[in-house]
Amino acid sequence: MKHNFGAGPCILPQEVFKQAAQAVLEWDQTGLSILEVSHRTPEYEEVVAETERLVRTLLNVPAGYSVVFLQGGASLQFSMVPVNLLGDGQKAAYLDTGVWANKAIKEAKLFGEVAVVGSSKEQNYTFIPKDYDIPKDAVYFHCTSNNTIYGTELHAFPKSPIPMVCDMSSDIFSRQVNVADFDLIYAGAQKNMGPAGVTLVIVKDEILGKIDRKIPSMLDYKIHIEGQSMYNTPPVFSIYVSMLNLKWLKAKGGVPVIEQENLAKARALYAEIDRNPLFKGTCAVEDRSNMNICFVMENPELEKEFLKFAEDRGIVGIKGHRSVGGFRASMYNALPISSVHVLVDIMQEFAEKHA
Ligand SMILES: *Cc1c(COP(=O)(O)O)cnc(C)c1O
What is the best residue among 76, 100, 198 to mutate for testing ligand 1's pocket, by most ligand atoms within 8 Å of CB? 100
Residues 50-91: tens digit of each pLDDT: 999 999 999 999 999 999 999 999 999 999 999 999 999 999
- Is residue 127 pLDDT above 90, yes or no? yes
What is the pLDDT averaged over residues 178-188? 98
Q: How many helices, marked H, and strands, marked E, lie in the chain? A: 9, 14
Residues 3-52: tens digit of each pLDDT: 999 999 999 999 999 999 999 999 999 999 999 999 999 999 999 999 99
Helices (H), the chain: 14-25, 42-59, 73-85, 99-108, 221-226, 236-252, 255-275, 303-312, 337-353
What does pLDDT average to over the chain?
Answer: 97
Question: Could you give the CA distance from residue 249 to residue 278 in angstroms, rounded to a whole number?
Answer: 36
Find out whether the beta carbon of 194 lies less than 6 Å from any atom of ligand 1.
Answer: no
Question: Could you give the CA distance from residue 177 to residue 59 in angstroms, rounded to a whole number?
Answer: 7
- Is residue 1 pLDDT above 90, yes or no? no
Confidence of residue 355 (pLDDT cuts 50, 70, 90): confident
Counting atoms of ligand 1 from 1, which one is nearest the CA of 148?
A: 15
pTM for this model (two decimals): 0.98
Confidence of residue 215 (pLDDT cuts 50, 70, 90): very high
Find out whether the beta carbon of 272 lies less than 6 Å from any atom of ligand 1.
Answer: no
Q: Which residues are catalytically annotated?
A: 100, 167, 191
Length of the chain: 355
What is the pLDDT averaged over residues 111-125? 97
Find out whether the beta carbon of 188 lies less than 6 Å from any atom of ligand 1.
Answer: yes
Question: Could you give the CA distance from residue 326 to residue 347 in angstroms, rounded to a whole number?
Answer: 14
Residues 227-281: tens digit of each pLDDT: 999 999 999 999 999 999 999 999 999 999 999 999 999 999 999 999 999 999 9
What is the pLDDT averaged over residues 210-217? 96
Upper half-sphere CA count for residue 28 (Cβ side, 13 Å): 9
Q: In this structure, which amino acid lies at residue 85?
A: L
> Measuring from atom 12 of ligand 1, which residue has the nearest CA?
169
Dist. CA 355 → ligand 1 center (Å): 39
Residues 92-106: tens digit of each pLDDT: 999 999 999 999 999
Set out the domains of the chain in order of their start, with CATH numbers.
14-252 (3.40.640.10), 255-353 (3.90.1150.10)
> Measuring from atom 13 of ligand 1, which residue has the nearest CA?
169
What is the pLDDT averaged over residues 311-322? 97
